[in-house]
Structure 1
Amino acid sequence: MSHFEERLEADLGNIRQFVWDMGDDVERALRQAKQALLTRDAELAYETVLGDNPINRDSRACDRLCHTFIARHLPGAGHLREMAATIRVNVALERIGDYAVTISRESLQLEDDLSEKFTVQIDLLADESLQILHEARKAFRDDNAESAMTLMKMAKQVENNMDAIYDQLFAEENGMKARTALTVFVVFNLLKRVADQAKNICDQTVYAVRGVAKLPRVYRLLFLARPGSGLGHLAAAIGRKNFPTSARFDVATPDGAEGVPPALAGFLDETGIPDDELESLNLSHLEHDLSDYDVIIALEGRYADYVNEVPFHTTALNWSPAAPDGADGYSATYRDLHGEIQSLIDLMAGDEAA
């Protein structure tokens, strides 16, 4: 190894260790913020707030180290990607440090003790987000893109689980004062953001290792239709054929699952649209899984006719495609649904739609 290569590797190792140590400090601050909140420890809260100053200085120092590395070594594609990713990871860690400060400051605003229920939920959510963050940092340190992609799914699940927590928080019977309820809401939201930032670190790991700037999002759409109409089956078939990598398309019908109606099966065969695995889901079995979907779409009637409550992070739409008729079959219905699905995917995925 040449002197130049030795110096490059030494500088690179220094930056990697610097980022790892900064991450340890950030995780420690977040644990302290949680403890200060749950134990009403004002001294620990103020200590955590002041402790963010060294983290901010380290963040600025990390930024300088990365830019100095680029200027000094003029690195090739692999090392250049790592520096770009490290700069973004540094930003994510600095923001998580800010979240710890805000949680600490919010803990000082509490008017009364938290109930045991919310104490347990905050404790569990904080630990889960911290675990995802720690594993995301390890994936970045170890250049482990596979682990990073698995962790992205875990971070997404944290977001999906928030709906139930928010429902409990704003239930009339929780008995909390308005100021306390607002504090708890802010804390839950910040802990969810920790998982979001961990996901961002995972994105940067995949970029650094594989050169993929960001994995395209795969949206989940659920079509709601009445039994026997075939509208949901047709919409799902159109979506799967035209946008196989941009979204997942499912159909659900009330009162049980059903297969593709014979008339629609004939139409799909004539138009060359695959009809495999198109059996509808039983809507009554999806009550607790609706939050997994980005959009639910009623094709007959209104979505309120199918679901009692739309999850917080789910969007609901009402479409009115042409109904199948004996003379025209599904042709007009196909044109309407194709146009609606095309517009929706273009709106959500943009140029990444495929």
Structure 2
Amino acid sequence: MNDLNLDKHISGQFNADLEGIHTQVQSMGQLVKKQLTDAIRAMHDQDMQLAKKVIKADKKVNEMEMKIDEDCVLIIARRQPIAKDLRLVIAIIKIISELERIGDVAERICSTAFKTLSDQQKSVVLASLESLGKHTIQMLGDVLDAFTTMNLNMAIKIYQEDEKVDQEYEGIVRQLMTYMMEDTRTIPSVITALSCARSIERIGDRCQNICEFIVYYVEGQDIRHKGGNELKKLLSR
């Protein structure tokens, strides 16, 4: 917790409260990362048993979000945090919402099937989606590491990584559209695959959002909707 450079408070319980919610978010983040990793593997291997486990575990992610949110509200009500302490609590409330939505993506992936694609097409599509999934898993893992110590430089680097995720997603879309034009019978499966790819791509956007909340905590700047320009300023300092 010292890595966050929080002010020391007369009340030791206040410090414990802040440390507690920070630790809870780390635990939630690791669970969401495992959910996403398992979902990508279940999709690629067509492992329905693993998919069912991921879907079932989504309830735990939701419960963790609600618990952390409640703890944050209690801290605000009881401790009336100001300055950096308040920014931490606000950032955490927003970050757990992004993590919960990433958990929803994992659940959605596990409901995906490509039954009408040919075996060759299925192999190519699943491999492409797995590659995109692994890219976003790495991005999620990195942003969780950045959150642990609120590392500004790491957050900026991760933010920029989303451009590569977008490029990979666009390549998958072109590939799937080609399949659909070549064989109209694949349209239902291609639409499902496109939806899945879009959901995975959105994980990169959510990781970007978490990076913005890290910047907000460290710098006290809200760079939402102007992230690119503001990040350039931070990098040039």
Residue equivalent to 1:209: 218
Residues 161-310 of structure 1 mapped to structure 2, 5 A cutoff: 161-171=168-178, 172-173=181-182, 177-214=186-223, 216-218=226-228
After superposition, give the CA deviation of every residue in 1:267-325 in whole Å (9 maximum; x if it has no partner).
Answer: xxxxxxxxxxxxxxxxxxxxxxxxxxxxxxxxxxxxxxxxxxxxxxxxxxxxxxxxxxx
After superposition, give the CA deviation of every residue in 1:17-47 in whole Å (9 maximum; x if it has no partner).
Answer: 1101111111111111112211111222122
Paired residues of 2:39 and 2:110 also in contact (CA < 8 A):
yes
Letter in 1 for 2:108: T
For structure 1, the 5+ residue unaligned runs are 219-244, 247-354
- State the Cα distance separating 1:2 from its structure 2 match: 8.3
Residue equivalent to 2:15: 9
Greater strand content: 1
Residue equivalent to 1:241: none
Larger Rg: 1
- CA distance in 1 between counterparts of 2:199 and 2:67 reads 25
Larger RCO, structure (CA 8 Å, separation 6 or more)? 2
Moved more, 198-207 or 69-78: 69-78
Residue equivalent to 2:42: 36
SS of 1:170's equivalent in the other structure is helix
Residue equivalent to 2:129: 122
- CA distance in 1 between counterparts of 2:199 and 2:64 reads 22
- CA distance in 2 between counterparts of 1:159 and 1:142 reads 27
- CA distance in 2 between counterparts of 1:2 and 1:213 reads 25
- CA distance in 2 between counterparts of 1:110 and 1:90 reads 35
For structure 2, the 5+ residue unaligned runs are 1-6, 231-237
Paired residues of 1:29 and 1:100 also in contact (CA < 8 A):
yes
- CA distance in 1 between counterparts of 2:112 and 2:47 reads 12
Alignment match of 2:145 (pick from 138, 141, 164): 138
SS of 2:111's equivalent in the other structure is helix
Residue equivalent to 1:91: 97
SS of 1:45's equivalent in the other structure is helix
Distance 1:201 1:179, change over 3 A: same
Residue equivalent to 2:107: 101
Letter in 2 for 1:191: I
After superposition, give the CA deviation of every residue in 1:114-135 in whole Å (9 maximum; x if it has no partner).
Answer: 5332222111111110111111
After superposition, give the CA deviation of every residue in 1:46-95 in whole Å (9 maximum; x if it has no partner).
Answer: 22111111111111001001111111211121010010000000000000
Q: Number of residues paired by the alignment?
A: 220
Residue identity (%): 27
Distance 1:174 1:167, change over 3 A: farther
- CA distance in 1 between counterparts of 2:128 and 2:8 reads 54
CA RMSD of aligned residues (A): 2.3
- CA distance in 2 between counterparts of 1:99 and 1:19 reads 18
TM-score w.r.t. the length of structure 1 is 0.58
Letter in 1 for 2:37: R
- CA distance in 2 between counterparts of 1:35 and 1:111 reads 20
Letter in 2 for 1:44: L
Q: Does 1:157 align with 2:156?
A: no
- CA distance in 2 between counterparts of 1:2 and 1:35 reads 44
Distance 1:130 1:44, change over 3 A: same
- CA distance in 2 between counterparts of 1:139 and 1:16 reads 12
- CA distance in 2 between counterparts of 1:174 and 1:39 reads 24
Greater helix content: 2
- State the Cα distance separating 1:111 from its structure 2 match: 4.1
- State the Cα distance separating 1:8 from its structure 2 match: 1.3
- CA distance in 1 between counterparts of 2:18 and 2:8 reads 15
